Copies of this chain bind each other. A is one copy, B any other.
Amino acid sequence: MAQHDGRGCCVIMAGGRGTRFWPLSRARRPKQLLSLASSQSLLQETYARVAALVGPGRVLVITNQDLVEATAEQLPELPRTHIIGEPVGRNTAPCAALGVGIAQRLAPGEPVALLPADHAIPDGEVFAGQLAQAFRQADAGVGVVTFGIPPTRPETGYGYLEVGAAVDGAPADIVPGVAFVEKPDQSRAELYLQGGRHLWNSGIFVWSAPAFAEAAAAHMPEIVGCLQPAVDAHGTADFPAALEAAYDTCPAESIDYAVMEKLPAFEVVRARYGWSDLGSWSAWGDLAPELEEGQRGLGEVISLNSHGNVVHVPGKLVALVGVDDLVVVDTGDALLICPRDDDQRVKDITVRLNEEGRTDLL
């Protein structure tokens, strides 16, 4: 395990709904609380990866109010005051400002990592080593370090980080950032893949304390202003009311648009660990165990002349006869069948269920 050098806090942003994993994911059991990559939930794995480096006392989890109980159940080791439930969703900028603000009270002056709760990183030790390096670099370099994943396919579903050549004397795997790049079209994604100067933006950001303070004051002063009373009240009996009041008035904004894309400079860790954002059932299937005839997933499969299917059907036999490239997900109360290349439309099912008031299935 990478050595903990005593500097750094981690804020895990765990407020996502993950409707693309319906019917397994539900409002009260969203993606990050599901065991999609191992017997642990994605949140538990994310927590374990960072707590091993910085210790439980320097980890915060920000989720939504309805999920605080379920989150606490999954993370019994984490101090209860370190699980913060947003009263309403206000996109990522308030979440980041709140998280970094509270982190600064826990460990004044130390760098802070903001991390998604719902990605799969099988190589936990490699990741922890690179996170430690990012903490050091945040203090030593330009103040903000992102994590870029070397692309393996012309993916159009991710934002990219354009990077420059490594600077002489820079630590291994640290390169200067050039620009945050929006999701490209197919031809541009092919160019990015071939050019070697673009990495997938994996949504992990490490800030030095002064750099975040400066950027927040410059680009989202209103948000910081709204949240400051809540940050100041953290750990006291006034915190819930202060948080409620803060979110009541706080504008909704994305940290990417509000701050990241306006940065004059940033650095990038070129990831050496395996990674998946598990953005859909099909992406999940790519990492899942191989079953009969090359199907992937969870369940007992009998396959006759069937190929490339992804199944998540615990506790029963699945017989696939002459079907290809389907996603099949069975829960006690719902069954989903769709082609792998159409699996983003699973969201549309949740929209329909919402329209029909089927909250029992949401």
User: Which residues of A are at the interface with B, using a C-beta cutoff of 8 A?
Assistant: 22-23, 302, 304, 313, 316-323, 326, 328, 330-339, 342, 345-346, 348-349, 352-353, 358, 361
**Contact across chains for B328 and A326 when beta carbons are under 8 A apart:** no
Closest Cβ–Cβ distance, residue A78 to chain B (whole Å): 35
Closest Cβ–Cβ distance, residue A119 to chain B (whole Å): 25
CA distance A339 to B328 in the complex (A): 14
Indicate which residue in B313, B322, B345 contacts A338 across the interface (CB closer than 8 Å).
B322
Indicate which residue in B318, B339, B348 contacts A337 across the interface (CB closer than 8 Å).
B318
Q: Report chain B residues within 8 Å CB of A339.
A: 321-323
Q: Report chain B residues within 8 Å CB of A319.
A: 22-23, 334-338, 346, 349
Residue of B nearest to A341 (CB): B322
Given A321-B338, A337-B323, A342-B322, verify A348-B304 contact (CB < 8 Å): yes
Q: Report chain B residues within 8 Å CB of A337.
A: 318-321, 323, 326, 328, 337
22 A–B pairs (Cβ distance < 8 Å), ordered by A: A22-B319, A23-B317, A302-B353, A304-B345, A313-B335, A316-B333, A317-B334, A317-B335, A319-B334, A319-B336, A320-B337, A320-B338, A321-B337, A321-B339, A321-B342, A321-B345, A322-B339, A322-B342, A323-B337, A328-B335, A328-B337, A330-B335
Q: Report chain B residues within 8 Å CB of A321.
A: 336-339, 342, 345-346, 348-349
CA distance A335 to B315 in the complex (A): 10
Given A322-B342, A326-B323, A339-B322, verify A333-B317 contact (CB < 8 Å): yes
Q: Report chain B residues within 8 Å CB of A358.
A: 317
Q: Report chain B residues within 8 Å CB of A349.
A: 302, 304, 319, 321
CA distance A352 to B317 in the complex (A): 12
**Contact across chains for B323 and A361 when beta carbons are under 8 A apart:** no
CA distance A333 to B302 in the complex (A): 13
Closest Cβ–Cβ distance, residue A218 to chain B (whole Å): 45
**Contact across chains for B335 and A316 when beta carbons are under 8 A apart:** yes
**Contact across chains for B304 and A352 when beta carbons are under 8 A apart:** yes
Q: Report chain B residues within 8 Å CB of A302.
A: 349, 352-353
CA distance A337 to B330 in the complex (A): 12
Q: Report chain B residues within 8 Å CB of A348.
A: 304, 321
| A318, A337, A345 — most chain B CB neighbours (10 Å) | A337
Q: Report chain B residues within 8 Å CB of A335.
A: 313, 316-319, 328, 330, 335
CA distance A80 to B321 in the complex (A): 41
Closest Cβ–Cβ distance, residue A318 to chain B (whole Å): 5
